[in-house]
Structure 1
Amino acid sequence: MSEPEMDEDANDPRIPRSLGVWSVKYDQWIAAAEQAFLALHHRCSAVYVIGFSMGGVIAVYLAEKYPVTKLVLLSAAFYHSQPRRPPLLHVSGSGG
């Protein structure tokens, strides 16, 4: 018995490097991910979405909005257990 035929493709959405990572707004990342997902969804019968760190948050967004077949999250950045705290300021008393 032969296995069913599967269509395979891959897409790795990226923001154009000319924009620079720190100048990109969240909606640009989401738009790039949505565009990549929709392109794959039109070509493939099943779409697996994998997200790492903040990409995991975007992957969950896609899974909530579109028919994602499988969702894989790696260190999704929903919560930071030790947020950065400002350094403590040590003030010594003035003698007087």
Structure 2
Amino acid sequence: MVACLCIHGYMGTPDELKPLADYLKKHTDWDVLTPTLPGHDKPYHLRNATYQDWIVFMESILTQLLKEDEEVYLIGFSMGGLLAGWLARHHPEVKKLALLSTSVHYLDWPNLVDNKGQLFVEVKDQKLKNSSVFSRYFKRFTDVPSQSKAQFAKMVMQAKPALAHLEIPTFIAQGGMDAVISAKQSVDYLMETIPGPKRLFVMEEAGHLLCQDKDREVLFENLLDFLKEN
């Protein structure tokens, strides 16, 4: 049996990866898991969650999968990509890794500021509460306790060194119109730092939420081809 462990991003939920998880379940007989990171069920719950909690929680699930399944793949989105990289580094039994819109910096505030125009466009065309940029980043980040933001920063510092030790095949996907992280900086860093075989897939017109993009099926097809390759 093959298992895929999918890890969502900071301040996110498994919904970020649900379209991909549904696609994998439809086109394979794999065991696809999308657990919720500790503290991520409600923003204020993040007050008591640490980066160690995120690591220990996902590591416990991964350890069990490695015992039960013949092959295990890791898929991480945004901060979840860093966490997936850390897990792959410390569990070499993992066969393949996929990094989607992976954060390699704590927060790229200049990038957020540069994209405030996107927020204004959305507000003009729809209600503010329905604006994806506002709800996903500007508003939710202000709702998160400051001590949790520090834990996010520690997660970045903990995980980044692990990337230099990844020898397994790695799929790197990035949106060219990412309003949260710098697409070029992220791709350049991952491509230069990860020593193992890599495949880069750039969606030039996509934003940060790759699995929610209108062209997500193309991403899913390429990712599944990568995971199925011998």
Per the TM superposition, whether the score is higher than 0.5 is yes
1-structure distance, mates of 2:76, 2:108: 22
Aligned residue among 53, 66, 70 for 1:28: 53
1-structure distance, mates of 2:65, 2:80: 17
2-structure distance, mates of 1:12, 1:81: 24
- Contiguous gaps of at least 5 residues in structure 2: 3-29, 111-230
Greater shift in the superposed pair: 19-28 or 31-40:
19-28
Per-residue CA shift, 1:33-87, capped at 9, x if unaligned?
1011011111101001000011100000011000211100001111268335xxx
Q: How many residues align?
A: 79
RMSD: 2.4
Paired-residue identity, %: 33
Contact residue 51 and residue 59 of structure 1 kept, 8 A = yes
Within the alignment, does 1:13 sit opposite 2:35 as a pair?
yes
Q: Provide the residue aligned with 2:120 in structure 1.
A: none
1-structure distance, mates of 2:106, 2:87: 22
Equivalent runs, 1:60-71 vs 2, <5 Å: 60-66=85-91, 67-71=93-97
Structure number with bigger Rg? 1
Give the SS at the match of 1:68. Answer: coil
Within the alignment, does 1:77 sit opposite 2:99 as a pair?
no
Per-residue CA shift, 1:8-30, capped at 9, x if unaligned?
32322322648813431000000
- Where is the helix percentage greater, Structure 1 or Structure 2? 2
CA 9–20 in structure 1, closer or farther in 2 if over 3 Å, else same = same
CA 22–53 in structure 1, closer or farther in 2 if over 3 Å, else same = farther
2-structure distance, mates of 1:81, 1:54: 10
**Large movers: runs of 4+ above 4 Å:** none
